[in-house]
Amino acid sequence: MPIIETRDLRKVFRSVKRAPGPIGALRTLFSREYVERAAVEGVTMSLEAGELVGYIGPNGAGKSTTIKMLTGILVPTSGMIEVAGLVPYADRRRNARNIGVVFGQRSQLYWDLPLIESFELLRAIYSVAPDRYRQNLAEFTELLEMSDFLTTPVRQLSLGQRMRGDFAAAMLHDPRIVYLDEPTIGLDVLAKEAIRTFIARVNEQRGTTFILTTHDLADVERLCRRIVLIDKGTLIYDGEIERIKEQYGTHRTLVVEFSEHYPEIAVEGAELESRTGDLVRLRFDRKTISADQLIRRVTESYCVSDVSIEEPELESIIRRIYVEGYADPGVKAPAPALT
């Protein structure tokens, strides 16, 4: 049984249409014309417990609207939604006990109080058993290396420390599902890595289900096997990352360093992508030529000191999907719900 399920989920926002100019402003006071805007238009998806799914889309695609409906603070216009057996908007407070949320741009910690006091407050809010609380606190303090700043007021913490605190805060009550919204925004490389390691570990050891919304696709690539792509309120892809990579990322780049200087370089089956001195990047399609063949062709005609192959990044693939749209006769998007 899936832990999160939505079917034909829609959310339409209605706002008052404003006519331009002072007369128009006056007119909107009396006559009300509404404009409707669909933020989410028929999203069907299903997540199994323990999955770690990347929920990806450009700004305004409907990501946060979906998350708000999953947390129960937004009522869908139509469609079915169920989270851990509950309808979130109908049972908001009970649903709240099953979920945790981390917002990269918004802290849920008490600004003026030491970090530990926020944790104690959350213990009371979720009525976590004292033993369980101590155990979780000890574990998270170690995993997130928080012991140095547990008693520091939150306003004095660095962004990286605050984010670690927010992660612990979201998970002290053992939520079954955690929604992450841009959890690594603004963090340096080391802090990002610490957060990613923590997510992967909690997912693996506790079987916590994660939905990760982010613009940093490196997060997704590092953590998720499955991604759900959304654009203009509609699902455009739901499946494994590997599959779209295979499908869209058929090109590779062969980076060659020549040991001699050649004024002109041409290799059949590959095109010159860029050149800086004797370092040359050759782009090829692995469906027409294998890397092995290409390397042989290069070494037959030139003296080479070093070669390496680069795979395309998820980011460039996804950018292409947004521009061209996703089309694959073999895969249906959205994927049918598991039964």
Partner 1 sequence: MTTSGSTGASIRVRVGHYLEPYVEFARKAFAREATYRVEVFTNVGSLILRVYLLRSLWTALYSQNAAPLNIPLHAMITYATVALLMSLILEIDGTRAIRERIREGSIATDLMKPIVLPFYFFSDGFGQTVFHAMMIVPSLALALLLVHVDVPSFPVCVAFALSFTIGYLVNFLLNFLMNTVAFWTLETFAVQLMIRWASDLLGGQLIPLDFFPGFFGQLVEGLPFAAIYSTPLRIYIGELPPSAWLGAMSVQVMWLALFGAFATAIWRLAERRVVVQGG
Q: How far is the CB of 121 from partner 1 (least distance, A)?
A: 5
Least distance in Å: CB of 285 to partner 1?
Answer: 45
175 forms part of the interface with partner 1 (CB under 8 A):
no
Question: Nearest distance from residue 77's CB to partner 1, in Å?
Answer: 9
Q: Least distance to partner 1 from the beta carbon of 108, Å?
A: 6
Interface positions, 246-265, toward partner 1 (CB under 8 A) = none
From residue 81 to residue 110, what is the string marking binding to partner 1 with x (rule CB under 8 A)? --------x--xxx-xx-x-x-x--x-x-x
Residues 6+ apart with CB under 8 A from 128: 122, 136, 172, 173, 174
174 binds partner 1 (CB under 8 A): no
Q: Minimal distance in Å, beta carbon 124 to partner 1?
A: 4
**Under the criterion CB under 8 A, does residue 28 sit at the interface with partner 1?**
no
Q: How far is the CB of 128 from partner 1 (least distance, A)?
A: 11
C-alpha distance from residue 68 to each of 40, 65, 203 (Å): 11, 5, 22
The number of residues that bind partner 1 (CB under 8 A) is 31
**Within 13 Å of residue 212, how many CA atoms lie on the same side as its CB?**
29
Q: Between residues 120 and 315, which has the closer beta carbon with respect to partner 1?
A: 120
Closer by beta carbon to partner 1, 6 or else 71? 71
Q: Which is nearer to partner 1, 71 or 203 (CB)?
A: 71
Q: Is 113 a residue that touches partner 1 (CB under 8 A)?
A: yes
**Options 49, 87, 120, 253; binder of partner 1; rule CB under 8 A:** 120
- Least Å distance, CB 55 to partner 1, is 17
- What's the gap between Cα 124 and its chain centre? 30
Span 40-69, contacts to partner 1 by CB under 8 A: 65, 68
Contact assessment for residue 166 and residue 107, using Cβ atoms and an 8 Å cutoff:
yes
Q: Note whether 17 binds partner 1 by CB under 8 A.
A: no
| Residue 72 engages partner 1 in binding (rule: CB under 8 A) | yes
Q: Is the bond preceding 58 in cis, omega lying within 30 degrees of 0?
A: no
Confirm or reject binding of residue 74 to partner 1 (CB under 8 A).
yes
Provide the minimum distance between the beta carbon of 257 and partner 1 in the complex, in angstroms, as a whole number: 51
CB 104 within 8 A of CB 182: yes
Q: Which is nearer to partner 1, 118 or 294 (CB)?
A: 118
| Contact residues for 65 (Cβ-Cβ < 8 A; gap 6+) | 11, 39, 40, 74, 233
Site string for partner 1, 123-162 (x = CB under 8 A): -xxxx-------------------------x---------
Residues that bind partner 1 (CB under 8 A): 13-14, 65, 68, 71-75, 89, 92-94, 96-97, 99, 101, 103, 106, 108, 110, 112-113, 117, 120-121, 124-127, 153
